[in-house]
Amino acid sequence: MLFLLAATLLLPAGEPLPPLQPGDVVELAPGVHQGPWEVATPHVTLRGMEGAVLDGGGEGSALVLSAPGVTVENLRVRHVGRETDFYAPDAAVWLVDCPDCAVRGLTAEGVTTGVRVEESPRARVENCDLAGLGDAPGITLYRAPEALVRGNRVRSFLDGIYMEYTSGGKALENVATASRRYGYHLMFSRGVEVAHNRVEDGRVGSAVMYGAGAWVHDNLFRGHVGPLAFGLLVQEQNDSRFERNRVEGNTVGMLVVSSRGDVFTHNRLERNGFGVLVQRERDKGSSALVFEQNLFLGNVYDLAVDDPEARVVMREGRYDRASPLDLDGDGAADLPYVPSSSYALFTSRQPDLSLFALGPGMLLWERIEAQVPGLAFMTLADPRPYPERAPRAAPSAWGLGLVLLGVGGGLWLRS
C-alpha cells in the first residue's frame, strides 16, 4: 500500500516503485526494496530511511536516473550486475542524460561500480561510501562537464575516481584507498580543480592526463610502491598548477611526462624513491616546467630529468640530504645545483631500481661521483637551494622497508 504524507510518498518494503510526477519525494521505508528501478521523471527525490536497502537483483545497474534534476539521498544498494566494461559497468546508481542530478549519501559494498555518470552536465556525487571488487571504477564520470565529486570514500576499485571530458569539474575532499590501478584519474578535460583529496596505498598511483588548466592542490598521494608506481603522473597535461600537495612514500613522487607550461610550487615530496622524475614520451614533445619553493625530505633522489631537450626551471628548492649537496659536512648545501649520479640516470629509465639506492655501495659511489668532477652527472640546476633541517626518520630503516615493499611488489606484478 502507498501512503501519501503531504507532498511525500512513503513506500513500504516490497512495494514496486509507483508512477511518479515531477517534484515527488519518495521515502523508502526500512526493509528490502526489490530492484532494479529507473527514475525517468524530472525533479524527483528518492530518499532512503534508516534500514532501507535497494536490492538490484544481481543483473545490470540497481538504479537508473534518466531525467533532469533527480536526487538520490541516503540510499543503501546491494546486488548489482557484474559487467566490468570500463565505459559501461554495472553500477549501484547510473546517471545517463541526467543534467543537474545528484547522488548523496549512497552506501554500496561489494559492487562492480558505485556511481556511473555519463552525458550528465553538472552532476553531483557527494558523501558516498563505496567498496568494490577491483575490476571497474568506483565513481566514473564521462562527458559530465561542471560535475562535482566531493566527500566520497572509495576503496578496492580498479580506479577510485575516474573523470573524462569533465571540463570545469571539481574533485574535492575525497578519499581513495587500495585501488588496483589509479586512485584518482583525470583525462581530456580543461579547468578541473582537484583539491583536498587523499589517495593512499594503491597499486599504481594517480594520474592527470591529456588536458590543460587543471588546479591540483592540497592533496595527499601516499604509499604507492612497486614497478612503475608513482604518487602522481602528469602526462601531456599543459598550463596547470600543482600546489601544496604532499607526496610521500612512493617509488616516484611525481612523474611528469611531455607536459608544458606547468608550475609546481610549495609541494612536499618526502620519502620517495625519486621526488620528481621528468621524462619524455616517445614521439611527443619535451616538457617545459617550473618548480619553485618545493620541499624535498628523505627522498633517495630528489630530482632527475631523463630528457636532454626538456626545459625545467628549478628555484629555491628546499632539501634535507647532506649527500651529495653537502660536500664539507657542515649541514649546508655547497653546490648551486642538484646533482645526480650514473646510478640515478640509470634508474630514471627503470624507476623501481631506485628502491635499492640506499644500500651502502650506492651511497658510497654517489659520494665519490659528487666529489670528482669528471664523474658528476648533473640533471637539474637550482641557483638558490635552501638546506632544510626538519627532523626525519633514520634512512636505513625507511630504506630497508621501501626496498622490501618494492621487491615484493615487483615480484607480484611480474608473476
**Assigned domain for 330 exists:** yes
Q: Which pLDDT belongs to residue 35?
A: 95
pLDDT digits (tens, 9 = 90+) for 220-260: 999 999 878 999 999 999 999 999 999 999 999 999 999 99
**Assigned domain for 312 exists:** yes
**Assigned domain for 383 exists:** yes
Q: How many domains does the chain have?
A: 1
Residue 332 pLDDT grade (very low, low, confident, very high; cuts 50, 70, 90)? very low
pLDDT digits (tens, 9 = 90+) for 72-120: 999 999 999 999 999 999 999 999 999 999 999 999 999 999 999 999 9
**Assigned domain for 190 exists:** yes
pLDDT reading at 200 higher than 50: yes
Mean of pLDDT over the chain: 84
**Assigned domain for 56 exists:** no
**Assigned domain for 208 exists:** yes
pLDDT reading at 148 higher than 50: yes
DSSP letters for 63-85: EEE-STT-EEES-EEE-------
Task: Enumerate the β-bridge partners of residue 398.
Answer: none
**Assigned domain for 77 exists:** no
- The whole domain housing 251 covers 105-407
N-to-C CA span, the chain: 57
**Assigned domain for 401 exists:** yes
pLDDT digits (tens, 9 = 90+) for 170-198: 999 999 999 999 999 999 999 999 999 99
Q: Which pLDDT belongs to residue 320?
A: 62
Where residue 387 sits, what CATH number does that domain have? 2.160.20
- For 238, the grid coordinates are 599543459
Q: Identify whether the C-beta of residue 284 lies closer than 8 Å to the C-beta of residue 259.
A: no
